[in-house]
Structure 1
Amino acid sequence: MKTLPEGLWPVMLTPFTATNEVDLPGLERLTAMYLEAGSSGLFANCLSSEMYQLTEAERLLITRTVVNVCGEAAPVVATGTFSRDTSANVAFIKRLYDTGVQAVILITGMLVEPDESEEILKERLEQILEQTDGIPLGVYECPMPYKRLLSPALMKWMAATGRFVYHKDTSCNSPAMVRKAEAVKGSRFGLYNADTTTALDSLEAGFRGISPISANFYPEPYSFLLREYRTHGRTESLNRLHALLTMMDRVTHNFYPYAAKVFLQRRGLKIETNTRIPAEALPNADQLRLSALMESFRAVADLYSIPLIL
């Protein structure tokens, strides 16, 4: 069972055609863009992919397409739990793993109800471990259907099983991330932070990488930040870049993922802006914010001599 690489792991978008069908050529172009921008791995079929708006066949098709485009260039992980029923989850986990992903991701909020204990969550995880034939697994504290955060104690147990290799953390809490990193220290269980604001704190704590939604707008500054951190540590220059990315990140959460597709289209990527999540046209003020975000992004790239791929 391989340890997944350090670095940037974008949570992928799903391009759709003008009639809201999955756009496979667009997906191939998008995947190539992520790779060219320096991504170390890709998280396909995730919340940013509008996974709850996809059919089971589309989830498999999208994941298989991304795996094929990546080849040996980068590993791919993808979500495999869309039910409260363990048997249904196990069946889909096996089908998804057959697409060639390096690990299948379990949504913490799909495995137990909000009022069920962490002990019940552990029992469900044990059932999945027993029934999935050694398949490498990961977990994602996905905000939907509700955000279920994991305790360091449970993560320590998960690391000890040897089966878990990926965790997407959404706690947005630096002290909590320190405790989680300590719990899995020395294991293959790699932690990846979804939050831009705490990105450098999480890397200092021992996280293997970051996975912010803003990397769907401009992955290049994040790849640069990670390379600089691994090479030089947390310098004042890097702190300034991180501060700029933190402020820019406030804009990217508005009208997401529609706004991300608009932004990429404006950058020159050939994809439609359609989403299956209902999205209104951007109001004038938000159009201006998105234009300001583009100017800020290009200014940051100039300031730090970051090569842009689009």
Structure 2
Amino acid sequence: MSKRIAGIIPVMITPFGPDGKIDWGGYEALIEWYIANGSEALFAVCQSSEMRFLSLEERVDLSRFTVEKVAGRIPVVSSGHISESLDDQITELMAIADTGADAVILVSNRLAPETAGAAEVRASFDALLAALPKDVPLGLYECPAPYRRLLTDDEIDFCAQSGRFILLKDVSCDLDTVKRRATIAENTPFLICNANAAIAYAAMQVTGAGFCGVMNNFHPDLYRWLQDHGAEYPELADELAVFLVLSAQTEPMGYPKLAKLYHKRLGTFADTSSRAVPYDLHERYWALEAVIDRIVQGTDMFRARIGAASSAAV
């Protein structure tokens, strides 16, 4: 089995230029920003990447580019299968596997139609596992679009015991479910990594597998500090956890375009174009800039407090 993949794992966004094509210079700058801000792995070609709006060639190029630019500094995992038929999904997943990603992530809602039963889902698992290279570690992602398919306890156990799976991006958004899943997967390579900011700190403490949520596009370093040092500074950690939860309530305000607006402010890249969110955020979400102002202000404030706490401890 390959290296353990866990910790603060951003779901990567895809910058586009005014011509509608991927902005590779901006994407490279984004990769460096993730790494400089405490990310421990990167999840390329995912829902945040707008994978359902990318061609297979673009998905493959994103994964390969990420692997090449990261150059082994941290692990890279990639998904990118969006088709309905298993045959087409196998083609997509094999192409992603060939990019050199450290793990290939299966999307749970692609395993079977929304109304399918356990037998049909298991048949899809069997077909995919038989087709994909046995030396390529696998993960799972309970992607909420086009619909959310949560894995059953039996499916969690199957994945854990198979030895093929190393990571679940858990989108149950329920701490009791995260705890139960972590217990089922205990003493196996299969790690349960929560994606919901509302339970992020508590889930980190339960699973030890980190956080793989969309707000890692805003302040991954704060989640990293919470994970690594929160127990040493419980009062500050609790206050930070409150700020992180409240900041995450902006996600329905046009994410991932919202994150692109944030990165345009930072200077990571210049254009906020999004294929998944084509409308004008400012027309739909009034006072949006003021909200982002407060996220920036709070992020800077907690960075300063963390710095002061660390200096005082020396």
TM-score, structure 2 normalization = 0.92
Shift of 1:305: 2.1
Give the partner amino acid of 1:78. S
Shift of 1:303: 2.1
Bigger shift: 139-148 or 279-288? 279-288
The aligned counterpart of 1:40 is 40
Unaligned runs of 5+ in 2: 309-314
Give the Cα–Cα distance (whole angstroms) in 1 for the partners of residues 275 and 146 of structure 2: 17
Shift of 1:199: 1.0
The aligned counterpart of 2:273 is 274
The aligned counterpart of 2:305 is 303
Percent sequence identity is: 29
1:8 and 1:38 in contact (8 A); partners too: yes
Give the Cα–Cα distance (whole angstroms) in 2 for the partners of residues 281 and 150 of structure 1: 33
The aligned counterpart of 2:4 is 4
Shift of 1:205: 2.0
Q: Deviations over 1:91-149 (max 9, x none)?
A: 22111111010111111111211111123111100111111121321110001110000
TM-score, structure 1 normalization = 0.93
Give the partner amino acid of 1:297. T
The aligned counterpart of 1:164 is 165
Q: Deviations over 1:55-96 (max 9, x none)?
A: 000000011111011111011111142122112111221111
Give the Cα–Cα distance (whole angstroms) in 1 for the partners of residues 294 and 235 of structure 2: 25
The aligned counterpart of 2:145 is 144
Find the residue that maps to 2:151 and give its secondary structure: coil
Stretches of 4+ moved more than 4 A in 1?
A: none
1:14 and 1:22 in contact (8 A); partners too: yes
Give the Cα–Cα distance (whole angstroms) in 2 for the partners of residues 291 and 241 of structure 1: 17
Give the Cα–Cα distance (whole angstroms) in 2 for the partners of residues 13 and 93 of structure 1: 20
Find the residue that maps to 1:154 and give its secondary structure: helix
The aligned counterpart of 1:67 is 67
Give the Cα–Cα distance (whole angstroms) in 2 for the partners of residues 82 and 53 of structure 1: 10
The aligned counterpart of 2:262 is 263
Give the partner amino acid of 1:148. R
Give the partner amino acid of 1:214. M
Give the partner amino acid of 2:190. F
Give the partner amino acid of 1:286. L
Pair 1:290 & 2:292 matched:
yes
Give the partner amino acid of 1:141. E
Find the residue that maps to 1:192 and give its secondary structure: strand
Give the Cα–Cα distance (whole angstroms) in 1 for the partners of residues 307 and 248 of structure 2: 20
Give the partner amino acid of 2:108. T
The aligned counterpart of 2:18 is 18
Shift of 1:253: 3.3
1:193 and 1:207 in contact (8 A); partners too: no
1:110 and 1:145 in contact (8 A); partners too: no
Find the residue that maps to 2:197 and give its secondary structure: coil
Equivalent residues in 2 for 1:223-242, closer than 5 Å:
223-229=224-230, 232=231, 235-242=234-241
RMSD: 1.7
Q: Deviations over 1:232-276 (max 9, x none)?
A: 368232122111111111124311111111111112323321111
